[in-house]
Amino acid sequence: MNIISNDNTITLNEVENFNIKQTLECGQAFRFELINDRYKIIAKNKILYVKENTFYTTKKDFEEIWLDYFDLKKDYSLIQNKLCEDSIMKKAIEYGKGIRILNQDKFEMLISFIISQNNRIPMIKKVINNISEKYGTDLGDGYAFPTVEQLSKANINELMECKTGFRAKYIMDALEKVNTLDLNKLDQLPTPELKEKLKEINGVGDKVANCISLFGYGRCDSFPIDVWIKRIMEHFYYNSQDTNKNIITADAIKMFGQYCGYAQQYLFYYAREEKIGK
DNA sequence: TTCCAGGTGCATA
DNA sequence: TATGCACATGGA
């Protein structure tokens, strides 16, 4: 990968396995929108615009923040080659080979995926935006996702006004628990223990804990099973339409091992774009 | 109007 | 341990 920087724009040449659309629209991120031909992304207390392989930012920010955020230091061809041993996965990867797993904020992932339950993606994005506008830092052209301290000022009625619905009580519980359950310290735990700790929060079950550990803690051996993944796994790997989620998880680990998380993202993108199993 | 969405907690058997 | 239901909200 060649990084060409000039005049506050960074262009990546000969970059393999990176596509901004696929990376943002594979279901891991909520704070982005396509404006004309550029994606506007709010993360890391900043607003970033990206068009294809061009990042509108300084060289310093790109190297210190975005290179890691977009996981551009990692060689994805190794991961893809391993996963391609499975013929179905090979097809899914051909479809979304530019997906990168973002390194996102732990607290933001916790609250975002609590909001995601029994909700649609456009609505999830709207609710997260409402919360950011109400409690987050004004960045000029948008609002950062609130910090623990900022969101701790919220009460349940205000959260309901942000359209969180029945999840407002779960967010309140999360805010209470993160006082004693230091999200950064949890990073020292092995993945199974990390998930168990996260599940002590009301409103965090198997699926949400897996999403937080995958997207917030970079635990790529996590395999969140939602309706889409369940549908596509049943469509391709099982005959039954009501396969037990524990069985799907066990089989996914057997097939994809330490690369489960990547496999999950390739499948999710493939399933949603192609509406497979629907 | 009715159904359902990147699920989870709770009651019941 | 397994199953069924309620839960806020809004778009199709």
Candidates A109, A90, A275; CA nearest to A207 is A109
Report chain B positions within 7 A of protein CB atoms: 5-10
- Locate the DSSP E strands across chain A: 2-6, 9-13, 32-35, 38-43, 46-51, 54-56
pLDDT of residue A275: 81
Judge if the beta carbon of A123 is closer than 7 A to nucleic acid strand C. yes
Q: How far apart are CA A100 and CA A57, in angstroms?
A: 19
Report chain C positions within 7 A of protein CB atoms: 7-11
Q: How far apart are CA A136 and CA A127, in angstroms?
A: 13
Judge if the beta carbon of A118 is closer than 7 A to nucleic acid strand C. yes
CA end-to-end span of chain A, whole Å? 38
pLDDT of residue A196: 97
- Round and report the angstrom distance from CA (A139) to C1' (C3): 48
- Round and report the angstrom distance from CA (A166) to C1' (C9): 9
Contact between residue A137 and residue A149 where contact means Cβ atoms under 8 Å apart: no
Nucleotide whose C1' lies closest to the alpha carbon of residue A26? B6
- In percent, the amount of chain A with pLDDT more than 90 equals 93
- Round and report the angstrom distance from CA (A124) to C1' (B5): 10
pLDDT of residue A272: 87
Element (H, E) at A116: helix A106-116
* Whether residue A278 has pLDDT greater than 70: no
- Round and report the angstrom distance from CA (A241) to C1' (C8): 28
Place of tokens 């099982």: A238
- Locate the DSSP E strands across A7-149: 9-13, 32-35, 38-43, 46-51, 54-56
Q: A4-12: long-range contacts at Cβ-Cβ below 8 A with a sequence spacing of 24 or more?
A: A5/A59, A5/A62, A8/A56, A8/A57, A8/A58, A9/A54, A9/A55, A9/A56, A9/A57, A10/A54, A10/A55, A10/A57, A10/A59, A10/A62, A10/A66, A11/A53, A11/A54, A11/A55, A12/A53, A12/A54, A12/A55, A12/A72
Judge if the beta carbon of A165 is closer than 7 A to nucleic acid strand C. yes
* Whether residue A240 has pLDDT greater than 80: no
Place of tokens 């993944």: A229
Question: Residues A7-51: pLDDT tens digits?
Answer: 899 999 989 999 999 999 999 999 999 999 999 999 999 999 999
pTM of the model: 0.97
- Round and report the angstrom distance from CA (A271) to C1' (B3): 22
- Round and report the angstrom distance from CA (A42) to C1' (C8): 27
Across the range A251-272, mean pLDDT stands at 95
Nucleotide whose C1' lies closest to the alpha carbon of residue A165? C8
* Whether residue A166 has pLDDT greater than 90: yes
